[in-house]
Amino acid sequence: MFNSFTGNDACKLIANGAQLVDVRSSAEFSRGSLPNAINLPLQSIMGAKNIIDDDKDVIVYCVTGARSSTAKNYLVQMGFDKVHDLGSFRNYNCE
């Protein structure tokens, strides 16, 4: 499925208070992450309501986009209605 959410879209939302959520493992996150990202590994996604604010936009990302796509689906099923999938961290281009 084509992901129409772009890095530019992410930058606009982040500037307006969106939460950037890295769904990679804690080990991957510790080796580097995007600025101000929250680490919520995919295997822990069911605890999202304790970590991220469901009233704000949420932008999920990983390495290839596979985990972020799955994470988005879980979050939507959990009642988060402002979830966006950046896919790979390489799509991030904010300054």
Kindly report, residue by residue over 19-32, the tens digit of the pLDDT: 999 999 999 999 99
Neighbours of 48 (CB within 10 A): 23
The predicted model gives 67-93 an average pLDDT of 96
- Is residue 61's pLDDT more than 70? yes
Rounded to two decimals, the pTM is: 0.94
Question: In a 3-state reduction of DSSP, which class is residue 36?
Answer: coil
Q: Which of 62, 71, 75, 83 is catalytic?
A: 62
In this prediction, residues 36-58 reach a mean pLDDT of: 96
Q: What is the pLDDT of residue 3?
A: 62
Q: Is 74 exposed, middle or buried (0-12, 13-18, 19+ CB in 10 A)?
A: middle
The three-class DSSP label of residue 83 is strand
* 94 carries an active-site annotation: no
